[in-house]
Amino acid sequence: MRALVVAHDAPNGFRFAAAPRPRPEPHQALIDVRHVSVNHGDLRTDVRPAGTVLGCDASGVVARAAADGSGPPAGARVAVFAVGAWTEQLAVTATELAEVPEPVDLADAAAVPLAGLTALRALRAGGPLAGGRVLVTGASGGVGRAAVQLAALGGARVIASVGSAARGAGLAELGARQVVTGLDEVDGPVDLVLDTVGGPTLVAAWNLLAPGGSLQSIGWAGGEAAVLPPYSTFAPGRARTLSTFGDSADPGPDLVTLIGLLAEGRLTPRIGWRGSWERAAEATGELTARRVTGKAVLDVHA
């Protein structure tokens, strides 16, 4: 079967290659992949060995149910979070997938796993949301848009930070109380920050934290170093915290929650680019150049 794998000599760092078809263990289902989505982390081909199958988000149909009876039956529509997802077939456990009900579009479901799990778990790690002020940086991206919606559903007053006014379009409708194009526009301290940008934005966001506040560093799309001035980590009052975030263990239960919200219309992923996976280089180039709002989705077998 075909897969998109790391190729350090390729212009975009990856190419199509032949990969062995999976041989599911008794506790694994075999999935025919229909769609995959692209995350910024997928593009770090420089830190992966040549030949590594890329991706972690997929959706498709169960071709063969797990032999031990766990998981959904053959024919079920599913969303999957699994390393090495950019391929024609996957073998996954029941803890790596969620059933996708009709009439949810499987392309929409493919846009949910990593972005949704990251946003949901970072918000949970930040503590209670109801009534608090939550700042989301890079709010026009896949993780950012999911975070805005989930924080608003949790009762937070959400401030969405974006790189331009055009990229902020639609965020108020998703639940943002305020949409800003620079953190100097944020009036007053915030209780929780979900930062997907890094660099100077992380530093500015840290300085906005109220006593006892939490900053969850979950991305570094800006690509610049973050330099904290001396003594900036000290302040009177309750301690503020800065945490790295990358919890992807046991995704199944949270993925079920996210797909349920998608089916209810309470979580809406924006697909800013969609096309055949034959155009993967084009999609990743557009994403890297920040010309995609939301997610890029590749059709493996539409």
CB 145 within 8 A of CB 194: no
The predicted model gives 246-265 an average pLDDT of 93
Same domain, 67 and 187: no
The predicted model gives 224-240 an average pLDDT of 92
Last residue of a domain, one of 244, 259, 285: 244
Beta bridge partners of 273: 296
Here the CATH number for the domain that contains residue 58 is: 3.90.180.10
193 part of a folded domain: yes
255 part of a folded domain: no
Residue 136's pLDDT is 98
207 part of a folded domain: yes
Same domain, 126 and 233: yes
Same domain, 215 and 119: yes
Here the CATH number for the domain that contains residue 133 is: 3.40.50.720
CB 44 within 8 A of CB 76: no
Same domain, 99 and 141: no
170 part of a folded domain: yes
Same domain, 74 and 174: no
Helix, strand or coil, per DSSP, at residue 103: coil
| Model pLDDT for residues 109-165, shown as the tens digit of each residue | 999 999 999 999 999 999 999 999 999 999 999 999 999 999 999 999 999 999 999
b or e along 8-25 (b: 16 or more beta carbons within 10 Å of the residue's beta carbon)? eeeebbbeeeebeebebe
Last residue of a domain, one of 244, 259, 281: 244
Residue 302 has pLDDT above 70, yes or no: no
pTM: 0.94
| Model pLDDT for residues 30-48, shown as the tens digit of each residue | 999 999 999 988 988 999 9
Residue 222's pLDDT is 86
**In total, how many domains does the chain have?**
2
250 part of a folded domain: no
Residue 49 has pLDDT above 80, yes or no: yes
260 part of a folded domain: no
Same domain, 192 and 237: yes
Q: Which of 128, 113, 76, 147 is nearest to 254 (CA)?
A: 113
Same domain, 188 and 294: no
259 part of a folded domain: no
Residue ranges making up the domain that contains 285: 2-111+270-299
262 part of a folded domain: no
